[in-house]
Amino acid sequence: MCEDGDFLKANELVEKALNSNPEDGNAYLAALMVEKHVTSEDQLSYVSAFDFEDITESANYSKAVRFGSEKVKARLGAYAQKNKALVDDWVVLERDESRGRILIMSRYAMSRDYNISDERERSLEMDDVASIPGNYITWEDSVIRKWMNSTYLDSVPLFIKARIIESEVYTAGTERYWYHYPSNWQVPACTTWDKVFSLSVDEVEKYFWNKRDRIARYKDSYYAATWGLRSPGFRRVTMFHGLGWDNMTDSNAVVCYGNVSVSDGMWGSAYGRTAGSYGVDRYADGIDYRPAMWIDGNVTPSEAKAHNWFPEFEISYIEDIRAGATRNISFGGYLWRVLVATDDAALLITENIVRDASYTGKTIDSIERNPSINWENSPVRNWLNGEFIDEMDEESAQRILSKKNITHDNAFIKNATSFDDTYLLRHTEYAPQITIDKVFCLDPFEASKYFSDDDDRICMQTGDPTAWHLRSFSRDVDSYAFKVSAQGHVDWRGYTAVANFGIRPAVWIKLP
């Protein structure tokens, strides 16, 4: 319908179809393609890379999911996951419709390339040198600017890098906020042309409502991060004044040059800086940064396909497993991965995490009063074999096989920290827990056996690597269970069972 790029004509056909049947899921899928200006359905798997909008927030997407067939739902769910993974590392700061450009910035703080020489920055680290008027570094000469426009730029995904617009970047001098200091102390303003840059104080004030919005973190961590801006500033260093370095003094303190930063509220708290507030860090303090860039907002998904910016994305079905399909298997409204297949059955696990949950559903206090951490009574098991399977279509649910699961606790596991079939036979003194499950979580042995390495076990949730539950539990430490970490490592020691981690369902199904 949209192959020729005539979206006006396609829209007329869509409206005609919906007037005839307002619950036509395929018509809403076509309406979504018209809305996003894609000429083929597979382009929906990367359309967010161009408008940086959440595809699931489209009314046409919601209605296509509501009224579409199970295969339509599976494809749309896969497209949403792919889009989320592409753009979740970025935040949109501004859409400049008049110039057809979008300002984006890294969602996460990152460290610069320390292989780029910072000799000038480090030469100003000593306070007897740094506190001399005129010993400053402007944005134009900074090592951060060099890094952002060289090695960092090389690492940017192609669908962004190919669209970056070199922009005029104005950086105000220190007189804006430090006007009460002597004129010979001031750092002058500068104008540069950059593809990648760090924000200024003025831009942070423009794009963020409050301190809370300004707080950043690292991608693979829950810890907040201090991130640097390109605006210059002064910093007091009180401990050095008594040593005689008084070329620049203010309130009985040596004053050194640096750059303004946004505090993480942790390390900065020693200097009275709350999370999201401004401070000044010296040039060689080793803080992190959030690169920003203007990109062309008029590039279409069809152009991206012509440039091969994205790999082909195909969805398979359970009928394809016998022919060797192993990834992105559509089944029961989810996408699955084949772990092992026999002549008439296959073990599947979801490609992505389907939700967060606590293994035990309890607090630490309630566990201490009534310890009962085990797979049989876990709310995770109850949800998987109840609500999760009940929401599947009847044909898919009937294809799932009941399985006898043998679940070992930590007393057994800690003596077998790698998968070994013979170990299960040689050590019969451990009494495992036996359950009959249709849907389950893997145990540490299965998570080791069916994946090639840690990278192979990494699992995404809305674009982020996320830890996921295993079904094994601890008898020695009542509040502990087991997991696969966000980095894909099988945890053989256990972790607190009250924590919310991802659920990655596994099923044995009968092949058609």
- What 8-state DSSP symbol labels residue 387? I
Domain ranges of the chain: 7-87, 94-295, 316-510
Indicate the average pLDDT of the chain: 85
Q: Which amino acid is at 132?
A: I
Could you tell me the strand order of the sheet in which 495-496 lies?
Answer: 355-358, 500-503, 468-473, 480-484, 495-496
Tell me which H or E stretch contains 106.
strand 101-106
Distance CA 180, CA 186 (A): 10
Stretch 192-198: mean pLDDT: 98
Per-residue confidence (pLDDT) for residue 306, from 0 to 100: 72
Distance CA 84, CA 45 (A): 10
- CB-CB neighbours of 22 under 10 Å: 11
> Two tokens at 264?
């993480």
Question: For 270-320, what is each residue's pLDDT tens digit?
Answer: 555 788 999 998 887 788 999 999 999 998 887 877 777 887 778 888 999
Q: Is the pTM of this model over 0.75?
A: no
Instruction: Report the candidate in 236, 258, 233, 260 with the shortest Cα–Cα distance to residue 249.
Output: 236
Distance CA 21, CA 144 (A): 58
Distance CA 476, CA 269 (A): 39
Contact criterion met (CB below 8 Å) for 53 and 83:
no
Question: For 26-83, what is each residue's pLDDT tens digit?
Answer: 999 999 999 999 998 888 989 999 999 999 899 999 999 899 886 787 788 778 878 8
Stretch 247-274: mean pLDDT: 74
How many alpha carbons fall within 13 Å on the CB side of residue 136?
27
Residues 6+ away with beta carbon under 8 Å from 368 = 478, 479
Paired with 102 in beta bridges are: 95, 295
Stretch 390-409: mean pLDDT: 90
> Two tokens at 344?
């008439």
Q: Own/partner pairs for 158-161, CB < 8 Å, 24+ apart?
A: 158/309, 159/46, 159/49, 159/86, 159/304, 159/309, 159/310, 160/49, 160/90, 160/104, 160/293, 160/295
Per-residue confidence (pLDDT) for residue 243, from 0 to 100: 43
Per-residue confidence (pLDDT) for residue 265, from 0 to 100: 78
- What 8-state DSSP symbol labels residue 186? P
